[in-house]
Amino acid sequence: MAKRKWIRVPLDKDSKFSLQQQLYDALKKGIQTRQFRSEEALPSTRELAMELGVSRNTVIAAYDRLLGEGYLESIPRSGMFVSSGLQNVAFPSLSRSSSARALSTIQESPVSMELARPVPFRPSQPDVSLFPWSVWNRMRNRAMRKAGLGVLDYQSKYALGLPVLRKAIAQYLSDSRGVRCHWSQIMITTGSQQALFLIGQGLIARGDTVLLEDPGYLGARNAFVHAGARIRGIPVDDHGLVPSAAKLPAALFYTTPSRQFPTGACLPTSRRLEILEVAAKAQAWLIEDDYDSEFRYATLPVPSLHGLDSSHRVIYVGSMSKVLYPSLRIGYMVLPEKLIDSFERLRLIVEDHGPLVDQVTLAEFLESGQFYTHVRRCRKSYAAKLDVFLSAVHKHRLPLEFPHIEGGVNQAGLFPSSEYDPERISMKLEKNGFYVPSLSRYSLQSSCRGLLFGFTAFDFDTLRTAVARMAPMITASQDRRVTQRKR
Ligand SMILES: Cc1ncc(COP(=O)(O)O)c(C=O)c1O
């Protein structure tokens, strides 16, 4: 064994790193650079603490870490030594590569917690300030007491979701949406986007044709394109999709019958029956995405397409994103019986299940009736917001028509004439801090001339001032085009 050696470590009391960390780093570096050799004796903790002018606990903690990592060994009644057997160990080079340096710069910069809030008029955003946190927390505590500790364990047996939630959702769908199903057909997903992704993976073979509403929801298009589908549009008119224009063959249809995304049209019963017939003829699956049907302001919600289906081709997809809050990431689908097993297997590839604490909490929230109280409160608030939004649009003479104001969390505004360029206006608005996509963003081939406004996430004042600020940017766009034409 080598003789004990004095150690000089420049410790900085003002450093952002603790004294213990600095000492640990210095000793470790000393061992790695062979300044301290294998089997060399180190001072006792009391001696080193005195020498460095730090507390003994600081030295004990640094030594303990190095002992734990195998750099030091303690020999009873002899003291602390650099571990024997380190002489032939090749330590990683202490000069850091440029990529490691770049990474450490990222890691050492303060961790940002800036979570973005929606800017006006970002579509599809609920008013999360209405969410009843204290009630939810009470429901969570109650649900956790009922469920016990198992709710914190892996439960791969419940890949389709916990039965308590599946039952509560089946009841809710039957009461509110006219969906008739057994609870075992309900599959809980992390948002309806996961449902669409799983449908793509489970039901579409590469090269299959998928028919999407045109214009339509980009999340669905992305999921099916990723699955290798050939995408074709079904035209949409003032009443929603036009079944007679669907070009067969097709493996799957994606629809938003209660409120067509993005136009807002509600599909009449005659067309619902027609699209069911077309899907049956094509032997295709029919996806009904019922993303915001809780929000009807003047009339009762329209019953689902699923309720009219006798051929078991409809897969109903729903989401808690609008009705509760988007980051909850709970969605669900109602599967035809013959698909249940294969979707369970598919889900197990992705993950065992979603967060179970949220599942039991939501079940309690539904069963206690608090869910319905919350929906009523949101519906009332959104109806008032829609009024404020439309009055401001009227007051500032925005050249837009809103044909489907009976419900929804978004409103499609259509330009009555071609004097306006929605793409250009949308870009201009974005440069000025707004987010108002042009309807053409959602088009395959259709030529929709308008803008999509989300109004539910913003308070009355924001709605009024945002419309007032935005109005000249829209009307000025028309003037320029007319002037250009006159020249
Ligand atoms: C048509 C449509 N479907 C589904 C969703 C909801 O997706 P998720 O449940 O994944 O939040 C949205 C959200 O904006 C939507 O607009």
3-state secondary structure the chain: CCCCCCCCCCCCCCCCCCHHHHHHHHHHHHHHCCCCCCCCEECCHHHHHHHHCCCHHHHHHHHHHHHHCCCEEEECCCEEEECCCCCCCCCCCCCCCHHHHHHHHHHHCCCCCCCCCCCCECCCCCCHHHCCHHHHHHHHHHHHHHHCHHHHCCCHHHCCCCHHHHHHHHHHHHHHHCCCCCHHHEEEECHHHHHHHHHHHHHCCCCCEEEEEECCCHHHHHHHHHCCCEEEEEEEECCEECHHHCCCCCCEEEECCCCCCCCCCCCCHHHHHHHHHHHHHHCCEEEEECCCCCCECCCCCCCCCHHHCCCCCEEEEEECCCCCCHHHCCEEEECCHHHHHHHHHHHHHHCCCCCHHHHHHHHHHHHCCHHHHHHHHHHHHHHHHHHHHHHHHHHCCCCCECCCCCECCEEEEECCCCCCCHHHHHHHHHHCCCCCCEHHHHCCCCCCCEEEEECCCCCHHHHHHHHHHHHHHHHHHHHHHHHHHHC
The 10s digit of each residue's pLDDT in 41-52 is 999 999 899 888
Give buried/exposed letters for 58-72 (b at 16+ CB in 10 A, else e): bbebbbebbeeeebb
The reported pLDDT for the residue numbered 457 is 98
Atom 12 of ligand 1, nearest CA residue:
291
Q: Is 455 a pocket residue for ligand 1 (Cβ < 6 Å)?
A: no
Atom 2 of ligand 1, nearest CA residue:
291
CA of 478 to the centre of ligand 1 (A): 33
Band (pLDDT 50/70/90 cuts) for residue 92 is confident
Whether residue 2 is predicted with pLDDT greater than 80 in this model: the reply is no
Q: Is 58 a pocket residue for ligand 1 (Cβ < 6 Å)?
A: no
- Tell me how far apart the alpha carbons of residues 218 and 438 are, in angstroms, rounded to a whole number: 13
Amino acid at 374: H
Question: Residues 11, 22: contact at Cβ < 8 Å?
Answer: yes
Taking Cα atoms as reference points, which of 74, 76, 78, 1 lies closest to residue 37? Answer: 1
Mean pLDDT over residues 361-382, rounded?
98
Atom 14 of ligand 1, nearest CA residue:
124
The reported pLDDT for the residue numbered 1 is 47
- Tell me how far apart the alpha carbons of residues 91 and 40 are, in angstroms, rounded to a whole number: 18
Across the chain, mean pLDDT equals 92
The 10s digit of each residue's pLDDT in 79-89 is 999 998 888 78
- Please work out, in degrees rounded to the nearest 5, the angle formed at the alpha carbon of residue 474 by the alpha carbons of 471 and 477: 140
The 10s digit of each residue's pLDDT in 235-264 is 999 999 999 999 999 999 999 999 999 999
Atom of ligand 1 nearest to the CA of 319: 9
Q: Is 442 a pocket residue for ligand 1 (Cβ < 6 Å)?
A: no
CA of 313 to the centre of ligand 1 (A): 21
Q: Is 319 a pocket residue for ligand 1 (Cβ < 6 Å)?
A: yes
CA of 322 to the centre of ligand 1 (A): 8
The 10s digit of each residue's pLDDT in 259-296 is 999 999 999 999 999 999 999 999 999 999 999 989 99
Whether residue 113 is predicted with pLDDT greater than 90 in this model: the reply is no
Q: Is 83 a pocket residue for ligand 1 (Cβ < 6 Å)?
A: no
Atom 15 of ligand 1, nearest CA residue:
291
The reported pLDDT for the residue numbered 69 is 87
Whether residue 303 is predicted with pLDDT greater than 70 in this model: the reply is yes
- Tell me how far apart the alpha carbons of residues 218 and 311 are, in angstroms, rounded to a whole number: 28
Whether residue 173 is predicted with pLDDT greater than 70 in this model: the reply is yes
Q: Is 257 a pocket residue for ligand 1 (Cβ < 6 Å)?
A: no
CA of 208 to the centre of ligand 1 (A): 24
Q: Is 40 a pocket residue for ligand 1 (Cβ < 6 Å)?
A: no
Whether residue 370 is predicted with pLDDT greater than 70 in this model: the reply is yes
Band (pLDDT 50/70/90 cuts) for residue 3 is low
Q: Is 289 a pocket residue for ligand 1 (Cβ < 6 Å)?
A: yes
- Tokens of residue 399, six digits: 């050249």
The 10s digit of each residue's pLDDT in 317-364 is 999 999 999 999 999 999 999 999 999 999 999 999 999 999 999 999
CA of 369 to the centre of ligand 1 (A): 24
Band (pLDDT 50/70/90 cuts) for residue 96 is low
Largest Cα–Cα distance of the chain, in whole Å? 100
The reported pLDDT for the residue numbered 51 is 87
Atom of ligand 1 nearest to the CA of 192: 9
Band (pLDDT 50/70/90 cuts) for residue 114 is confident
Band (pLDDT 50/70/90 cuts) for residue 7 is confident
Q: Is 189 a pocket residue for ligand 1 (Cβ < 6 Å)?
A: no
Q: Is 256 a pocket residue for ligand 1 (Cβ < 6 Å)?
A: yes
The 10s digit of each residue's pLDDT in 129-154 is 999 999 999 999 999 999 999 999 99
CA of 301 to the centre of ligand 1 (A): 18
Give buried/exposed letters for 112-133 (b at 16+ CB in 10 A, else e): eeeeeebbbbbbbbbbeebebe
Whether residue 389 is predicted with pLDDT greater than 90 in this model: the reply is yes
Ligand 1 pocket test, pick from 258, 289, 435 with the greatest ligand atom count within 8 Å of Cβ, gives 289
Atom of ligand 1 nearest to the CA of 195: 10
Band (pLDDT 50/70/90 cuts) for residue 460 is very high
